[in-house]
Structure 1
């Protein structure tokens, strides 16, 4: 790979081999690509920005190295090769532009997604095709959040000690963020009450019904955490070992289908029906005696009030991590620092695990577990800008709610509050402490 990327420069190739050995394969790409970014910045420097040119020889060499490291299958000189090179070049310059900004809170980087098309990135976020017409995606405003209650929260707090939070998952090309976040949060709350159990993301992808296309058309094309929690409480959920993740839509496993069939004739299914209609009420949804979630001590699940930062912090610190929906269209190049480049198009589901303050920047942040693998961001996590006063968190209008949570026939616009819409929609389970039922 090095010989191809750096022909006629054996000394540089040897240095790179040594560098690879010392730094480790996982971080090698970002450092090498940063090297090429610097080279390109020097050679194409202009006042205030980078001059865009056709791909240079250095750019092609950098891309060839990227192709080898990530074991891409497209061949040189193919149509796909040049299409991917175009995506890579665009991201390359965007990273360089961002990292030249003075006073920035976060750094951008090239990563395994740098040759992905915009449609593929939308799929990564669980994007669903338009169901409503017209309008821009979002409009930012800075009307302050109303926080009428006195807030007395710890200066910093997180659930990072939990094994469920340490386990960073990679959803792959499947738009299963909603299912992965739900599985992680279920495991976290199970762990909090002393039950060591995993929860199958693949069963959620394959089996959760979504007839009204809430948050997507279902499976790898998106759904909601509310659907996933309602399904799990009613029908139970297999472990990861029983139904491993495949990052693809597949038939619902027989054992899960049998559980669903049996439950249809054994009691009240109104909670699942409401979730399928996008009509899950705010507040706690209690299980009934024959719900199969009780087998592993899941007693209820809760949907938090929209855009209520006070309740979100209260529940986070007193109960545990939660699934939160966010506007993540600009997250893909995030490397490290406190992210502050948000819009209002809520289109992705993540796990909110805590908050704190950066010692160096002296800036507060929310700590978020993502599902794009351990080599993305800060070892799979992102720190999102948090305002010291909850009332200062921004609000805006999402004109494309169907990209995130809305169902067919839902509202054409919604108000979202918090950086990247963090306060708009959050949900979590509640487990019973004690012996498994």
Structure 2
């Protein structure tokens, strides 16, 4: 009997010793990684390889500066959004905006062609009748997030994004269309050096349609046009330019996803989630697709946008940006240059 009691006491004592050890271990802060170690982990996570130690050293310094910038913004407090070290963490904001944006606004945009001159028809719904939240992903009208890579053809991805949504709404079928065909064949744009969505819509109409993504895959560079070798999967009858203003954009987005321009800044390069209400560039330089709107948990109204910077950016490739900002064109001018195609 005494042996059983002693054994029980030993087990109880051992249990408390182990519990105390675990508590003390958990209480100790884990060793903080150095910036160099964080860079190595980031390289491994994103598959980043440098040509030599010189380039690695240069990129490390940029990585370090970007990390400081991100931490300074996040520590500011009371922000409705956050920034993070995504795949763009080792490039400067100048490099990023030069390679990963690419919206060029044509002079003709101020005088729309007859194809886009049809009067914008406001929905019969009043503000009270329109849904308080709308997400075209829930209706299956949004394809997977894509990545334009180091090619300034955001305009092609924006145009295709609204076209894919329009096609789903019109036919009930979701299909991916070819950004590469627009990149190769739209003569009034500049390939990887920029372009505009309505020029892409002009091409689609005049060409008799556009191919499926699987028939004309994205390569991230401009090549010789191969439209004549392909079969068009969708045609459009026209496109609609949306009047400037968040009210008009709201009316348009209730109908379908809409191609829009945005004045993207360094903050947007590292956007990692939340409702964005930060800084903007001094001009519109990027194109995305507006796929909905809503109100966040803090009561802030937002626009829901689909980007073309891959899924490591933002909220799995999507973002929320403040709505009803007060400026007629919206924050970062997102309601200034909007358009969408009409399926034939």
TM class, shorter-length: 0.7 to 0.9
- 2:294 maps to 1:356: yes
Partner of 1:155: 132
Give the superposition deviation at 1:244.
0.2
* 8 Å CA contact retained: 2:103, 2:261: no
- 2:146 maps to 1:169: yes
State how far apart, in whole Å, the 2-side matches of 1:308 and 1:106 are.
Answer: 24
Structure 1 residue runs without a partner (length 5+): 1-34, 41-57, 129-148, 211-216, 260-292, 396-416, 433-437
SS in 1 for 2:166: helix
* 8 Å CA contact retained: 2:197, 2:339: yes
Give the superposition deviation at 1:297.
4.9
- 2:47 maps to 1:82: no
Partner of 2:196: 224
User: 154, 171, 178: which one pairs with 1:200?
Assistant: 178
User: 63, 68, 74: which one pairs with 2:44?
Assistant: 68
Give the superposition deviation at 1:101.
1.7
Structure 2 residue runs without a partner (length 5+): 1-29, 105-124
State how far apart, in whole Å, the 1-side matches of 2:45 and 2:91 are.
Answer: 15
State how far apart, in whole Å, the 2-side matches of 1:337 and 1:199 are.
Answer: 29
State how far apart, in whole Å, the 2-side matches of 1:321 and 1:127 are.
Answer: 18
SS in 2 for 1:69: helix
Give the superposition deviation at 1:299.
2.2
Give the superposition deviation at 1:150.
6.8
The residue correspondences of 1:193-272 to structure 2 (distance < 5 A) are: 193-194=170-171, 196=173, 197-210=175-188, 218-235=190-207, 236-253=209-226, 255=228
SS in 1 for 2:214: coil
* C-alpha distance after superposition, 1:380-437 (max 9, x if no partner): 11100112xxxx5225xxxxxxxxxxxxxxxxxxxxx2111011100101125xxxxx
* C-alpha distance after superposition, 1:170-213 (max 9, x if no partner): 11111111101111211111111125333210000011012xxx
* 8 Å CA contact retained: 2:259, 2:289: yes
State how far apart, in whole Å, the 1-side matches of 2:301 and 2:323 are.
Answer: 5
* C-alpha distance after superposition, 1:130-189 (max 9, x if no partner): xxxxxxxxxxxxxxxxxxx97433222221224452411111111111101111211111
The 1:127/1:178 distance shift into structure 2, 3 A limit, reads closer
The 1:67/1:191 distance shift into structure 2, 3 A limit, reads same
- 2:302 maps to 1:429: no
Give the superposition deviation at 1:86.
1.5
Give the superposition deviation at 1:73.
2.3
The residue correspondences of 1:119-158 to structure 2 (distance < 5 A) are: 119-122=94-97, 123-126=99-102, 151-152=127-128, 153-158=130-135
* C-alpha distance after superposition, 1:81-120 (max 9, x if no partner): 1211111011101111111122111111101000013343
State how far apart, in whole Å, the 2-side matches of 1:352 and 1:155 are.
Answer: 16
Q: TM-score scaled by structure 1?
A: 0.62
State how far apart, in whole Å, the 2-side matches of 1:335 and 1:162 are.
Answer: 25
Partner of 1:346: 284
State how far apart, in whole Å, the 2-side matches of 1:89 and 1:73 are.
Answer: 17
* 8 Å CA contact retained: 1:176, 1:219: yes
Q: TM-score scaled by structure 2?
A: 0.78
* C-alpha distance after superposition, 1:344-384 (max 9, x if no partner): 4210000001111112x221111001111112111111100
Give the superposition deviation at 1:232.
0.6
Structure having the higher Rg: 2
State how far apart, in whole Å, the 2-side matches of 1:179 and 1:297 are.
Answer: 16
Give the superposition deviation at 1:72.
2.1
Give the superposition deviation at 1:64.
1.8
SS in 2 for 1:165: coil
* C-alpha distance after superposition, 1:241-285 (max 9, x if no partner): 1110001111111526x99xxxxxxxxxxxxxxxxxxxxxxxxxx
SS in 1 for 2:171: coil
* 8 Å CA contact retained: 2:210, 2:234: no
- 2:306 maps to 1:369: yes
